[in-house]
């Protein structure tokens, strides 16, 4: 027997699924819209579980405030781009991959110290990118979110059972631990 709780997080983001292919027998057309630069209002549902309760709870919901801060500060209103995207050099022509700043949660940011005051418009553009080493599909994003939450919640002895990620109100992926 175990208990499960969940908490929702919303954010706006953009991405491009450069690897998209379609079978026109099912899709009815060959339009590869997800290959275009586009955006979503995403929703993440984090599911935590425990076999026994502590203080009558799986854990306090406030123990996920750090994840809300991560979403708000790192991902909200940003463009998530695969560093292996064939358009990387076109979209970020002044960025050298070896100079990216890697973060422990598995993403990279552009090193903005490389830009002069006169390049403020480029700096502002580039600070809008969050770079990852995977195609940012709904499925891959849900797996990434689970790994981030699980690593942190392990310190509390809490298990993440799964993550649901809605890239639209009608399109959802789920990743189980």
What are 15's two structure tokens? 């991405």
pLDDT of residue 1: 79
pLDDT of residue 48: 98
pLDDT of residue 96: 94
**Residue corresponding to tokens 């998530």:** 80
The CATH fold assigned to 3-176 is Tetrahydropterin Synthase; Chain A (3.30.479)
pLDDT of residue 31: 82
Q: Is 30:24 a contact under the CB 8 Å cutoff?
A: yes
- Categorize the per-residue pLDDT at 25 as very low, low, confident or very high, splitting at 50, 70 and 90: confident
Domain boundaries, the chain: 3-176
pLDDT of residue 27: 83
Phi, psi dihedral angles at 132 (to 5 degrees):
-130, 165
Examine the pLDDT at 32 and tell me if it is beyond 90.
Answer: no
Q: Which run of H or E residues covers position 172?
A: strand 171-176
For residue 124, give the 3-state DSSP assignment.
Answer: helix
Give percent of the chain above pLDDT 90. Answer: 88
């Amino acid at each position: 027997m175990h208990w499960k709780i969940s908490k929702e997080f919303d954010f706006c983001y953009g991405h491009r699924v450069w690897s998209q292919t379609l079978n026109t027998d099912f899709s009815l057309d060959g339009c590869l819209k997800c290959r275009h630069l586009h955006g979503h209002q995403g929703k993440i549902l984090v599911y935590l579980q425990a076999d026994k309760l502590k203080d009558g709870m799986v854990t306090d919901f406030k123990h996920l405030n750090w994840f809300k801060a991560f979403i708000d500060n790192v991902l909200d209103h940003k463009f998530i781009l695969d560093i292996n995207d064939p358009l990387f050099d076109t979209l970020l022509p002044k960025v050298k991959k070896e100079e990216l700043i890697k973060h422990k949660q598995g993403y990279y940011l552009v090193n903005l110290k490389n830009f002069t005051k006169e390049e403020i418009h480029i700096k502002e553009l580039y600070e809008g990118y969050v770079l990852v080493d995977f195609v940012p599909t709904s499925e891959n994003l849900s797996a990434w979110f689970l790994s981030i939450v699980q690593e942190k919640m392990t310190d509390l002895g809490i298990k993440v059972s799964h993550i649901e990620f809605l890239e639209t109100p009608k399109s959802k992926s789920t990743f189980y631990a």
